Amino acid sequence: MPADPLLPVLDRRRLLAGGAMALLAGACPQLAFARAATDRRFVFVIQRGAADGLATLAPTGDPAFAALRGAFADLDGGTPLGDFFTLHPALKQTAQLYAGGEALFVHATASPYRERSHFDGQNVLETGGRAAYALRDGWLNRLLGLLPPAQGKAIALSATVPMVLRGPREVSSYAPSGLPDASADLMARVGAMYAADSRLHALWTEAMATRDMAGDAAGRGGAQRGAQVGALVARMLAEDGARIAVVETQGWDTHAGQKGRLASTLGGVDAQLAALKAGLGPAWADTLVLVATEFGRTAAPNGTGGTDHGTGAVAWLAGGAVQGGRVVADWPGLRPADLFEGRDLRPTTGLDAVVTGALAAHFGLDPAHVARTLFPDGPPKPLEGLLRA
Amino acid sequence: MPILISQAPMSQAAIALNRFGLGARPDEPLPDDPRGWLESQFAHFEARPAAFAATPSRRDVAQQLADYYEATRARRARPAAAVAPAPPTPDGLPAMAAANLAGSPDETRKFIQGEARAAYLSLVEARVASALTTPAPFAERLVHFWANHFAISIDKLPVIGLGGLLEVEAIRPHLTGRFADMLLAVEQHPAMLLYLDQAQSIGPNSPTGTFLANRPNARRRPGLNENLAREILELHTLGVHGGYSQADVTEFARALTGWTVAGISQAPAARRIGLDGPAGDFAFAEPLHEPGTRSIVGRRYGQPGEGQARAVLADLAAHPATATHLATKLARHFAGDDPPRALVDRLSAAYLRSQGDLPTMYRVLIASPETWNPAPLRFKSPWDWSISAARAVGSRQIPGRMAAGLLTQLGQEVWKPGSPAGWDDLDATWAGPDALVRRVEAADRIAARAGTGLDARQLDPRALADRVLPGSISPATQAAVARAESPAQGLALLLASPEFLRR
């Protein structure tokens, strides 16, 4: 019989009893294990919902870009990275990391998944398989097996352990008590789902109006929340804490109203990175952050001010360990013939190659061994030179 | 206003699973023969399933209550004790303090939040686990129905711990028996006797009543308490328009005198009148019983002692007004706020024809076309929704404090309807704007927490949708679930969908 899906995460005593690592709730997490032998830290920020790489890091130097995106592109106040790319205006602090050589981007990247289901795409992103549900555990859990025990302490900042961390090796998860309100994105989707049901629609409309008056929905900017999350992760990764953390972010599935929503979600990640750097202090120098999504979005906007599910996307690497200040891309172009299936940014760099190359270098492991362990169904050729020598 | 409902018609299997049952579990097969599946459950129903194995016994809970009262009594007896004034209990029967923490002494607070709460949470946990794992979810739903019909509310101190036991000891054993037997078991259960103040009712002309009235400086007249008698007539049997008068209430209250609980009070007076039996047992205290023949709802009762009120209960159970009252409530629970007259009549006739055999009524529910209307007929209560959501994600047990917290947040604190009338079982009670938002937030949390330990594919909301609401999901909900940005969000949308909110 499978473990109960609600019980383990609800009953925190089990985590305590498990002993490997358990975080106590509250403002000052105390961790129950000795100081790690090594100080390398890795944070994986998952962008659930398919983040738009062409908006995050716009290829403004590609003559086809303006034709595709035109006024839909949000470029005002963006930061030019070299003469080809422009970083989204909400990513001001990330731009500073880039300028300081502590952030790089890999553009036109993707997992091996080539269809357009979020669920299946996220399963491939996290299991490291070639197809959805081909593997039963996550690549980050398999990585733990390659690390010395003191280095292999991992935590997910969520109520349950995300797929990327699931597997035989013990990991922990922690969500601040008093979970946040349901996301604005979920609320919007629920409202749309109720549109044709006169009774639920009336109730929902009234409830949302009341909440707006009460100010519940307002004042919770992505940046404010992102900063809180970043500071919390930094505490988790403090001296006696975990060495590996997974953070899930939502709100990337921007089929409509993309400009405003993306500014908020990107601002959240931006604030999260800045708060993480501030919170880690000197440990930032030995830290690697990967921000990645299950797939990208269509090259052209749709008719509702958004974009639909696509393929190639952007992955971010940040931290003191990164050989930053660069955009790594084998640029595929944006002319109609260049696009994957005539609609999406064509992926030219395997995300698995990025993960393998970065993690092997970060933890001083044999890249080929890392490739076989993390991506056993199709070990990639590791992308080298992403981190400082 | 005509209600426009966007959801697809419910399939027969979806109706059996959701309207009759407690929601589908992905790890259980769909019923091939929905009616046969429901019929078969009466044979599978367990009165005391394994889920209740670890719950505290009535003796233990009642003894804790007795110890608490004894400590309170001893403290009051101490001359120098500087405590808040408490009402005197010259009759030696326990004062029924309301479970209100404001301004109560530390020991009361400690009792309510400590032992009593622990017993309550243990019983909540068992109730939830039983609902999640039962092989007979239709029968289990009927347990919840009767528990609400015979409602107690834990805002009264003595029933915090004992309240859940009423369901376990008086309702479950008689679920597939006769209503008259369930009625008697309920009215003799300590939780009901204490909740509706019967335990301290004294016949004015009983030996104890006469003795207390003749004491010098008697500060109050010994009390006949009409509470239980009234609620039996109004709520448990005939119904509010069932044709009884205030005189019937008073006469019935006199007949009930002497029905009390053993071992709760350890005062000398309680011992003298024979209440020194095992804590929490039903006791008939002859010295409290009002002597004489009673006239109630047109009949005369000359029986001596305990048998007098028993005879009244038996006649009330057989009364046509009781049949109509029960039939209306059962029909409403399955067929909508305003149940079809024909269904009510059919249930009522079946009740009278079978001398109150409950499975005969249940079979009428199964056989009636009105309960198989493919349009959803009910908006789920918070309890229904929470249980069906936990079943949908494959949960088998939820810690009591978590379950109690969730139900409190959703507005239906377990065993705390606030009055003996219970929750009113009307859609409008639950379908409110704020309640809906809370439910969506709860769906979000449940979905975020589901998944650990289960195969990702088992919880794929696209597959799960058709599993829990087979053939009954509208294209709009299907699309919303399939387009969700993550499996967890898809699951939250499924749990919040119009189809999942109703049954």
ipTM given for this complex: 0.87
Residues of chain A contacting B397 with CB distance shorter than 8 Å: 4, 7
Boundary (domain end) residue, out of A168, A194, A219 = A219
Query: For chain B, what is the mean pLDDT?
Result: 90
Indicate if A234 and A97 belong to the same structural domain.
yes
pLDDT at A184: 78
pLDDT at B99: 46
Mean pLDDT of A147-166: 84
pLDDT at A22: 30
Residues of chain B contacting A119 with CB distance shorter than 8 Å: 460-462, 484, 486-487, 490
**Beta carbons of B486 and A49 less than 8 Å apart:** yes
Reduced to 3 states (helix: H, G, I; strand: E, B; else coil), residue A79 is strand
pLDDT at A175: 66
Q: Is the pLDDT of residue B85 over 80?
A: no
Cβ contact B466:A23 at 8 Å: no
pLDDT at B78: 66
Confidence of residue A290 (pLDDT cuts 50, 70, 90): very high
CA distance A215 to chain B (A): 15
Element (H, E) at A156: strand A154-157
pLDDT at A255: 84
Q: Is residue A330 part of a domain?
A: yes
Give residue-wise pLDDT tens across range B218-267. Answer: 666 668 999 999 999 999 999 988 999 999 999 999 999 999 999 998 77
**CB-based contact (8 Å) between A350 and chain B?**
no
Chosen for mutation from A193, A211, A295 (greatest number of chain B CBs closer than 10 Å) is A193
Residues of chain A contacting B431 with CB distance shorter than 8 Å: 199, 203
Mean pLDDT of A21-41: 41
**Beta carbons of B456 and A252 less than 8 Å apart:** no
Q: Which residue has the higher pLDDT, A9 or B72?
A: B72
Range of lowest pLDDT (A280-284, B109-113, B333-337, B439-443): B109-113
Reduced to 3 states (helix: H, G, I; strand: E, B; else coil), residue B281 is coil
CA distance B488 to chain A (A): 9
Chosen for mutation from A13, A183, A186 (greatest number of chain B CBs closer than 10 Å) is A186
Mean pLDDT of B306-328: 98
pLDDT at B215: 80
Cβ contact A156:A165 at 8 Å: yes
Confidence of residue B82 (pLDDT cuts 50, 70, 90): very low
Of all residues in chain B, the one with the smallest CA distance to A190 is B493
User: Which of B308, B310, B306, B303 lies closest to B274, judged by CA?
Assistant: B306
Q: Which residue has the higher pLDDT, B492 or B90?
A: B492
Q: Is the pLDDT of residue B1 over 80?
A: no
**CB-based contact (8 Å) between A6 and chain B?**
yes
Indicate if A234 and A202 belong to the same structural domain.
no
Q: Is residue A202 part of a domain?
A: yes
Mean pLDDT of B181-196: 97
Boundary (domain end) residue, out of A219, A245, A276 = A219
* Cα B262 from Cα B5, distance rounded (Å): 54
Mean pLDDT of B421-438: 88
Residues of chain B contacting A191 with CB distance shorter than 8 Å: none
* Cα B479 from Cα B254, distance rounded (Å): 63
Q: Which of A165-169, A219-223, A371-375, B87-91 has the highest mean pLDDT?
A: A371-375
pLDDT at B326: 98
User: Is the torsion defined by CA of B250, B255, B261, B263 positive or negative?
Assistant: positive
Query: For chain A, what is the mean pLDDT?
Result: 85
pLDDT at B73: 80
Of all residues in chain A, the one with the smallest CA distance to B480 is A193
Residues of chain B contacting A252 with CB distance shorter than 8 Å: 485
CA distance A170 to chain B (A): 13
pLDDT at B5: 57
Range of lowest pLDDT (A71-80, A317-326, A342-351, B214-223): B214-223
Q: Is the pLDDT of residue B444 over 50?
A: yes
**Beta carbons of B489 and A189 less than 8 Å apart:** yes
Q: Is residue A17 part of a domain?
A: no
Boundary (domain end) residue, out of A167, A192, A219 = A219
Residues of chain B contacting A5 with CB distance shorter than 8 Å: 393-395, 449-454, 459
Select the residue of A9, A119, A136 nearest B452 (Cβ to Cβ): A9
* Cα A358 from Cα A382, distance rounded (Å): 8
Q: Is the pLDDT of residue A382 over 90?
A: yes
Q: Is the pLDDT of residue A90 over 50?
A: yes
Q: Is residue A19 part of a domain?
A: no
pLDDT at B211: 87
pLDDT at B428: 84
Indicate if A72 and A136 belong to the same structural domain.
yes
Residue B467's CB: how many other CB atoms inside 10 A? Answer: 19
**CB-based contact (8 Å) between A166 and chain B?**
yes
Indicate if A52 and A137 belong to the same structural domain.
yes
Range of lowest pLDDT (A104-108, A167-171, B403-407): A167-171
**CB-based contact (8 Å) between A116 and chain B?**
no
pLDDT at A179: 42
Percent of chain A whose pLDDT exceeds 70: 85
Residues of chain B contacting A200 with CB distance shorter than 8 Å: 436, 498, 501
pLDDT at A349: 96
Secondary structure letter of residue A288 according to DSSP = E
Percent of chain B whose pLDDT exceeds 90: 72
Indicate if A68 and A89 belong to the same structural domain.
yes
User: Which of B115, B122, B123 lies closest to B65, judged by CA?
Assistant: B115
CATH value at residue A368: 3.40.720
**Beta carbons of A160 and B450 less than 8 Å apart:** yes
Number of independent structural domains in chain A: 2
**CB-based contact (8 Å) between A214 and chain B?**
no
Indicate if A244 and A317 belong to the same structural domain.
yes
Q: Is residue A9 part of a domain?
A: no
**Beta carbons of A185 and B493 less than 8 Å apart:** no
pLDDT at A47: 95
Q: Is residue A388 part of a domain?
A: no
Residues 219-248 of A with CB under 8 A from B: none
Q: Is residue A306 part of a domain?
A: yes
Confidence of residue A213 (pLDDT cuts 50, 70, 90): low
Indicate if A308 and A278 belong to the same structural domain.
yes
Domain holding A279, by residue range, is 35-179+227-374
Chosen for mutation from B132, B406, B437 (greatest number of chain A CBs closer than 10 Å) is B437
First to last CA, chain A: 48
Indicate if A352 and A264 belong to the same structural domain.
yes
Confidence of residue B86 (pLDDT cuts 50, 70, 90): very low
Confidence of residue B451 (pLDDT cuts 50, 70, 90): low
pLDDT at B70: 87
pLDDT at B6: 57
**CB-based contact (8 Å) between A309 and chain B?**
no
Indicate if A139 and A197 belong to the same structural domain.
no
Residues 124-153 of A with CB under 8 A from B: 133, 136
Reduced to 3 states (helix: H, G, I; strand: E, B; else coil), residue B393 is coil
Instruction: Tell me the C-alpha to C-alpha distance, in Å, between residue A322 and each of A94, A206, A239, B267, B269.
Output: 13, 49, 21, 78, 83
Hunting for tokens 């330990």 — which residue is that? B453
Of all residues in chain B, the one with the smallest CA distance to A250 is B485
Annotate B185-196 with three-state secondary structure: HHHCCHHHHHHC
Confidence of residue A152 (pLDDT cuts 50, 70, 90): confident
Backbone dihedral angles phi then psi of residue B151, each to the nearest 5 degrees: -75, 140
Indicate if A294 and A310 belong to the same structural domain.
yes
Mean pLDDT of B130-148: 98
Residues 34-73 of A with CB under 8 A from B: 48-50
pLDDT at B486: 87
pLDDT at A216: 39
Select the residue of A6, A193, A204 nearest B450 (Cβ to Cβ): A6
**Beta carbons of A49 and B485 less than 8 Å apart:** yes
CA distance A281 to chain B (A): 31
Indicate if A161 and A250 belong to the same structural domain.
yes
Angle, helices B306-318 vs B320-335, to 10°: value is 60
**CB-based contact (8 Å) between A186 and chain B?**
yes
pLDDT at B201: 93
pLDDT at B222: 64
Select the residue of A5, A194, A200 nearest B450 (Cβ to Cβ): A5
Q: How many CB pairs under 8 A join A and B?
A: 160
Q: Is residue A381 part of a domain?
A: no
Confidence of residue B155 (pLDDT cuts 50, 70, 90): confident
Residues of chain A contacting B433 with CB distance shorter than 8 Å: 203-204, 206-207, 210
Q: Is the pLDDT of residue A35 over 70?
A: no
**CB-based contact (8 Å) between A9 and chain B?**
yes
Give residue-wise pLDDT tens across range B370-390. Answer: 999 999 999 999 999 999 999
Indicate if A129 and A206 belong to the same structural domain.
no
Of all residues in chain B, the one with the smallest CA distance to A161 is B452
**Beta carbons of A186 and B440 less than 8 Å apart:** yes
**What letter represents residue A337's amino acid?**
A
Mean pLDDT of B121-134: 97
Q: Is the pLDDT of residue B490 over 70?
A: yes
**Residue A268 CA, distance from chain mean position:** 11
**What letter represents residue A192's amino acid?**
A
Q: Where are the alpha helices (DSSP H) in B134-178?
A: 137-149, 159-166
Residues of chain B contacting A161 with CB distance shorter than 8 Å: 452
Backbone dihedral angles phi then psi of residue A25, each to the nearest 5 degrees: -65, 165
